[in-house]
Amino acid sequence: MAASSGKKTQIGTRELHPETQMLNYGYDPRLSEGAVKPPVFLTSTFVFNSGEEGKEFFDFVAGRQQPPAGKSGGLVYSRFNHPNSEIVEDRLAIYEGAESAALFSSGMSAIATTLLDLCPPRRSDPALAAAVRRHRNAAEQNAARSGDQSGGIQRRHRRR
C-alpha cells in the first residue's frame, strides 16, 4: 500500500481546495486495516503499550503535562478523543482556515469550555459576566417553560 499521512493538501504543485481536502484530510488508511474511508469506531477505551504510557496519555489529555516535541497524546478514552473526532476536527480546521478545531458532545459543553477559557479564576470581565448571566437566564426560562418545579439554577457562591 502506498504511504499516505492523511494530511495531503496538494497534488503536485496544485493546492487542493478546502472542499476537496474535506473528503480525505486527516485519515490514513494504513492505521485502519487499509479501509478506503474511515471506519466508525465504536469503542470507549484504547490499548496502551504499558501502564506508564497510559498514565502519560491521560496526563497529556488532562493538561497536567505537555507531550514531548514530536509526540502526540495518543488515544485515551472516547469522551476525550477518538479517531473519528480527530478526523472531523482536522477537516473542520482546514475548511475554516483555522489552526485547529474542537468538537463537543453538546452546545452547553462548548459554551462552558469557551467561558472557562475566557474567564480564568480571579479574572473580572463585565462583558463575560453579562454573557454568563444571559446563559443562566436562558436556562431558567427554558426550565420554566418545560414545567420544571425545581426553582431554577441555584447559585452556590455570590460575589459582592
pLDDT in tens, 8-51: 788 889 888 888 888 878 888 888 888 888 889 888 888 999 99
Which domain, by its residues, includes 132?
107-145
Assess whether 132 and 67 both reside in one domain.
Answer: no
The tens digit of pLDDT for each residue in 55-68 reads 988 888 888 888 88
- The C-alpha cell at 3 is 504511504
Does 158 fall in a domain?
A: no
pLDDT band at 1 (very low <50, low <70, confident <90, very high): very low
Cβ contacts of 122 within 8 Å, gap of 6 or more:
none
Average pLDDT over residues 109-113: 83
Does 67 fall in a domain?
A: yes
Regarding pTM above 0.95, the answer is no
Alpha helices in the chain (DSSP H): 18-24, 51-62, 83-96, 107-118, 126-145
Give the per-residue pLDDT at 10. 82
pLDDT band at 160 (very low <50, low <70, confident <90, very high): very low
Give the per-residue pLDDT at 50. 92
Does 102 fall in a domain?
A: no
- Largest Cα separation within the chain, whole Å, is 65
Sign of CA pseudo-dihedral 95, 96, 101, 104: negative
Tell me how many helices (H) and strands (E) the chain has: 5, 2
Assess whether 51 and 90 both reside in one domain.
Answer: yes
β-strand partners of 15: 10
Among 70, 96, 122, give the residue marking a domain's end. Answer: 96
Q: CA triplet 67, 69, 75: central angle to 5 degrees?
A: 40
Does the pLDDT value for residue 159 go beyond 80?
Answer: no
Does the pLDDT value for residue 147 go beyond 60?
Answer: yes
Does 90 fall in a domain?
A: yes
Assess whether 92 and 111 both reside in one domain.
Answer: no
Assess whether 90 and 123 both reside in one domain.
Answer: no
